[in-house]
Amino acid sequence: MTRQHMIGDHQVILVTGGTGYIGSYVTKLLLERGYTVRLCVRNGNNKVKTQYLEDTAMHVDGKLEIHEADLLVPGSFNEAARGCDAVIHMASPFTLRFKDPQKDLVDPAVQGTRNVLEAASLSGTVRKIVLTSSVAAIYGDNRDMEEQGIPEFTEDHFNYSSTLSHQPYSYSKVMAEKEAWKLAKEQDRWKLVVINPAFVMGPPLSKDSDSESIAFMKYMLNGKYSLGSPVLVFGFVDVRDVAMAHVHSLEKSDAEGRYIISACSMKTLELAGLIRKKYGDRFKLPKMEVPKFLMYFSGWMYGLTFKYISRNIGYDLRFDNSKGIRELGMEYIPLETSLVDMIDQMTALKMVNH
């Protein structure tokens, strides 16, 4: 899509988190569609993170600019935001490996959102912000669905059960999104659209991707769950669909509010079954589920707390994805395709042992 064929007037886009697992696809799509992307990174000299995107920019209509900025530094994004038409804010910690949840998760998520959105307001030119949140901002524990007496989660729901000590990553996501909506209501310069993806699967663009999605797949393939899988249900979605949801949200003038982006919900053992269907016994995949009562004794092997086991294992989980299908035109890649493409790409990039 050349610039003259763009939908809307968004031509110069500030992108945070654009070198990450999801972000790299979003950046690539924007460049291919002819946008000028101002990519904000902590270290502009770290070519490992940006070179493949710079290479992409050389062969498409779009233009890539590299800017240095830090989520925790007020005013850090002001210069990059000046003259931009829109912002896609994806930068936020996605890790379950941390020492201090406040410092490592909540502060970067909330303060980073505040700093980026305030830079957008100061720019005087930004008219739309697309924020990457998560279904973790919609629910905290699978049991939340039963407690609320609902058949599925919708965009109307907000996570109420996560705290700094229980599911701190999910807590960081809901606090950051609430901060974004608060700031959005305090001004009339720009419109906010929020993307709430489920657990993201699919092929990474770079071998340097360090997402928990990649870590999960490595654990699955390398035998961490070979003795048995917890009875856990997750929502899953392809990384390429999540990237497209961001671009559609940017380009569609009537996009508004939150969008759950989820292809399906599935148990981890069922997911392992899809992998085995393609690869047979090539990987050390689980063949059985560990009963919940045993998880209370062995949960530490999976990094699961007693409270997490109590409120998540054995409970169903469903999402209503109809708004994204209806308003963004989402057409989801089948999970089996996502898994095969992901494993083949990780193997090609030597990210797995097989």
DSSP 8-state symbol, 153: B
Report the predicted TM-score, pTM, of the whole model to 2 decimal places.
0.94
pLDDT in tens, 248-301: 999 999 999 999 999 999 999 999 999 999 999 999 999 999 999 999 998 887
Confidence of residue 10 (pLDDT cuts 50, 70, 90): low
Whether 110 shows a pLDDT value over 60: the answer reads yes
pLDDT in tens, 146-195: 999 999 999 999 999 999 999 999 999 999 999 999 999 999 999 999 99
Phi first, then psi: what are they for 71, rounded to 5°? -55, -35
* 239-251 vs 21-32: helix crossing angle, rounded to 10: 50
| DSSP-assigned states of every residue in 101-151 | HIIIIIHHHHHHHHHHHHHHHHHS---EEEEE--GGGT-SSTHHHHHTT-S
pLDDT in tens, 199-245: 999 999 988 777 889 999 999 999 988 889 999 999 999 999 999 99
List, in order of start, the domains of the chain with CATH numbers: 3-348 (3.40.50.720)
pLDDT in tens, 77-99: 999 999 999 999 998 865 566 67
Q: What percent of the chain lies above the pLDDT cut of 70?
A: 95
Identify the pLDDT of residue 3: 38
